[in-house]
Each structure stands twice: as C-alpha cells, then as structure tokens.
Amino acid sequence: MGIFITFEGIEGCGKTTQVVLLKGYLEAKGYKVITTREPGGTELGEKIRQILLNSNSENITSWTEIFLYEACRAQIVKEIIKPALEHGRIVICDRYIDSTTAYQGYGKGLDLESVHRINSLASQGITPDLTFAIDLKPEVGLKRAWARINNIKTTEREDRFEREGIEFHKQVREGYLKMAEKEPERIKVVDGDRDIDSIHREICGIVAKKLETAKG
C-alpha cells in the first residue's frame, strides 16, 4: 500500500500551495505521486464542486451539503485514491474527511457522530496516514482568500464559504484544533502565518520521517 497525505485548514490558509510544493519535493526524490482535491478530483466531482462552492447555490441546506460532499468523496475514493494506494503511490489530497467534520460538524453544527459515520461510509474507511492542518487566524485567512477570489476574472467564483460570517470560520478553526488534539500522531498542526518556504520545510521534515517509518 502507498501513503495517503491530506492537507486541511480554513479558507486562505495556503494549503493548496503546499500540496504543489510537497508533490515537487517527493517527485524529486523519485516517488510516484498523485495529487487530487475535494470537492472535485473526478469528472463528477468537479460538477458537484461548482454546486457546492459557488455563492449562487446559497439555498443548499446543511444536510444536502454534506451528502453532496460525500457523493464526491465516494467517487474520488473509488476512481483515484484507493487504486493509487493499492499501486503503492503517494496520494496527496487537498481536503478530505476532516474538512467535512470541521465545516459541516463544528462549523454548521451537524451531529458529529453522524458526520463520522457518513464520512466512514463514503471513504470506505480509508483514513489518511498523515494530515497537515495549516493553522491561521480566520481574519488573516479570509483576507488572503478574498484577494485571490477578486483576481479571478469569471462569474463562476468559488466564494460561498468565504461569505460565511467570521464566527463560522472561528468554529471551523477550533474544530481542526480539537481534532488534532484527539489524533496528534496523524494530524500535525502547522503554523500558517509564516513564509511559504518555512512552512514547506517543516512539512517536508515531517513527511521524510513518516516515509522512513513506513519503510521500517
């Protein structure tokens, strides 16, 4: 089996940049790496992504929202994640089950036990070997996120979660920190309020140790 790494965090935390950098680092060392994202990652998933993240879809209920995410997840696990891991690849996913727990569980207030059960079903029980929760104050993250969004010249802007109130994002952040407390071996909290290279070096160090242990 391969190694499954996920990146998590609030809007604007910089995780997507770190996914790209880690892929380059690992490929330079000779590893075969697959990167993907949630929501999205498959043809069906990208269609669901447009429904979920576009602010024109503002009338989605919290339960409808979570089932759309889980539909996307079930597809990406079947098409990409599970086959790649079975072929010994390193899979890096930009968001996964912890996003659902943080956003729909802690942020939207859905029953956490129900969220965990649905996550497990959609993911076929596939849990990341290592998760990076890039931590950042919501005020800073949202400022970054809106700067990025406003530079995109399209009407299909993915800004539905950015339009949530600051308290929502604080709850999401708190959710990530609570999950990291419960699973410190898997979830590594990384300070996102630093320069990109410093964050990248810390992540590479943690991944290198994980790979050594896996060889073990």
The per-residue pLDDT for range 133-145, each reduced to its tens digit, is 999 999 998 888 7
CA quadruple 201, 128, 177, 163: dihedral positive or negative?
Answer: positive
84 is written with which tokens? 């790649």
Contact 85, 4 (CB under 8 A): yes
Question: Which CATH code is given to the segment(s) 3-215?
Answer: 3.40.50.300
In the predicted structure, residue 159 carries a pLDDT above the cut 70? no
Residue 161 has pLDDT above 80, yes or no: no
DSSP code for 78: I
pLDDT for residue 27 is more than 90: yes
Q: What is the pTM of this model?
A: 0.92
55 falls in which pLDDT band (50, 70, 90)?
low
The secondary structure of residue 55, as a DSSP letter, is G
Record the tokens describing residue 164, joined without a space: 């949530």
Residues contacting 131, CB < 8 A, separation 6+? 5, 6, 7, 8, 96, 98, 183, 186, 187, 188
pLDDT-derived band at 117 (thresholds 50, 70, 90) equals: very high
- DSSP run (H or E) holding 148: helix 138-150
Q: What is the pLDDT of residue 165?
A: 84
Angle of CA points 69, 11, 146, to nearest 5°: 120
